Amino acid sequence: MWAIVVNPISGGGNGAIRGKEVAGYFASHDLDYTIITATSAQKLRANLDNFLDLPEGRQCQGVIAVGGDGLAHLVIQSVAPRKIPFTVIPAGTGNDLVRALGWSLDSINEQLNFVTTTRPTPLDLGMVDSEWFGAILSTGFDSVVNERANAMTWPKGPMKYNVAIALELPKFSPVQYTIQLDTQLLQVEAMLIAVANGKSYGGGMQVCPNASMTDGLFDVMILHPVSKVEFIKVFPKVFKGAHIDHPQVRIYRSAKVSISSSAVAYADGERIGGLPVRAECMAGAGLSWTP
């Protein structure tokens, strides 16, 4: 039995379309499946947990999350402690966990063919203050942008974040952080800190292009202060990971990271809350399929 978890409103309704495609695939291949959906994230999580605790749910071969990074984050909370494998079908705005797992954004059948015929393998997951995350925990300018974008009702979609960047950058100031890594304590002033299990966030921004989900370590990227003009010049480079060569960028590797400041943190695009936070890379804590 497979669980197909669908967020129908993800990606402006793309979740519903992709959900039908995935269900059609399972039906045409005579694979047993249950569709799980709901009108709110809280109810969806409850429905998934309830299913996984049923006798047939305990035999679940895998959970297929059809939606964006928010749905993937929700699904990980349920499957990780139960050691149930999962994969993510891209139907959201960012789809960064799909990228982290190595899948194309436009080859659903190829992904499902692989998932339904191949054994899953272990992958690392992050744990921050008792909450799992798959891709990136961050704080600094991007979290400020998330705070502003989440409070906006217009525009919709990715453009909302571009508008939020334009509104927040002129008044943003670097923040003082205390960062404890495995082997060193850092007192830094920074514009952004990313604790990466996966490579990208924000819809393909490769903030830590060399991060691996199978090495038991986070890549910790620190952007030290730069001028607003320099930030605007460097920002486009993040989509190819070329920003890591900038002299104000430092990357460390560590299994555990504690961050203290007066800022707010996000993980997989979901609000974690105010600092301090403590994160740990949990080696092999998840099960999934990678091409």
Residue 232 pLDDT greater than 80, yes or no = yes
Where are the CATH 2.60.200.40 domain residues in the chain? 133-288
How many CB atoms neighbour CB 210 within 10 A?
A: 13
When the candidates are 1.20.1260.10, 1.10.10.10, 2.60.200.40, 3.55.10.10, the CATH number that belongs to 133-288 is 2.60.200.40
- pLDDT tens digits, 142-178: 899 888 887 887 887 667 777 888 899 999 999 999 9
- pLDDT tens digits, 39-87: 899 999 999 999 999 887 788 999 999 999 999 999 999 999 999 999 9
- pLDDT tens digits, 84-125: 999 999 998 889 999 999 999 988 999 999 999 999 999 999
Strands 256-260 and 277-288, how do they pair? Answer: antiparallel
Query: CA 100, 67, 47: angle at the middle one, nearest 5?
Result: 115
Task: Domain 2-118: give its CATH superfamily.
Answer: Probable inorganic polyphosphate/atp-NAD kinase; domain 1 (3.40.50.10330)
Query: CA 214, 102, 67: angle at the middle one, nearest 5?
Result: 110
Where are the CATH 3.40.50.10330 domain residues in the chain? 2-118
Query: CA 267, 271, 274: angle at the middle one, nearest 5?
Result: 100
Contact assessment for residue 63 and residue 5, using Cβ atoms and an 8 Å cutoff:
yes
pTM exceeds 0.75 for this model: yes
Q: Which residues contact 149 (CB under 8 A, 6 or more apart)?
A: 160, 161, 163, 164
CA dihedral of residues 265, 41, 134, 179 (deg, nearest 10): 10
The position carrying tokens 């320099």 is: 230
Position 163 scores a pLDDT of 87
- pLDDT tens digits, 189-224: 999 999 999 999 888 889 999 999 999 999 999 999
The span from the CA of 13 to the CA of 42, in Å, is 19
**Integer Rg of the chain from CA:** 19
